[in-house]
């Protein structure tokens, strides 16, 4: 179970991440938002946003993102993915 500080931090990160999407659908920002949604317990939202990130990602990043998407669909723990700006 997550403690209150962790949930607070996740909610803050989600709010900032969503705000970053106001600048446009940058695949790096989409990926971050998807991961935060998934980690906060919104599995379906995380999957939907991850699919958007994959659609906009550079070809060399799509494989890594797709691997994480498959983990999300299985309900598995996801690791940190760093995309090149």
Reported as a single tens digit per residue, the pLDDT across 32-64 is: 999 999 999 999 999 999 999 999 999 999 999
Predicted confidence at residue 19, as pLDDT, reads 95
Q: What is the CATH number of the domain that holds 66?
A: 1.25.40
- Say yes or no to pLDDT of 15 above 60: yes
In this structure, is residue 82 part of a structural domain?
no
Q: Which domain holds residue 24?
A: 4-74
In this structure, is residue 55 part of a structural domain?
yes
> pTM, whole model, 2 decimals?
0.86
Query: What is the domain count for the chain?
Result: 1
User: In 34-57, which positions are buried (b, 16+ CB within 10 angstroms) versus exposed (e)?
Assistant: bbbbbbbeeeebbeebbebbbebb
pLDDT averaged over the chain?
A: 90
In this structure, is residue 14 part of a structural domain?
yes
In this structure, is residue 80 part of a structural domain?
no
In this structure, is residue 9 part of a structural domain?
yes
């Amino acid at each position: 179970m997550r403690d209150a500080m962790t949930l607070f931090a996740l909610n803050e990160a989600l709010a900032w991440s969503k705000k970053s999407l106001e600048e446009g659908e940058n695949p790096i920002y989409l990926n971050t938002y998807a991961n935060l949604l998934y980690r906060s317990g919104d599995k379906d939202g995380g999957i939907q946003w991850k699919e958007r990130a994959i659609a906009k990602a550079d070809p060399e990043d799509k494989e890594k993102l797709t691997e994480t998407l498959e983990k999300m669909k299985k309900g598995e723990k996801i690791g940190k993915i760093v995309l090149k700006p």
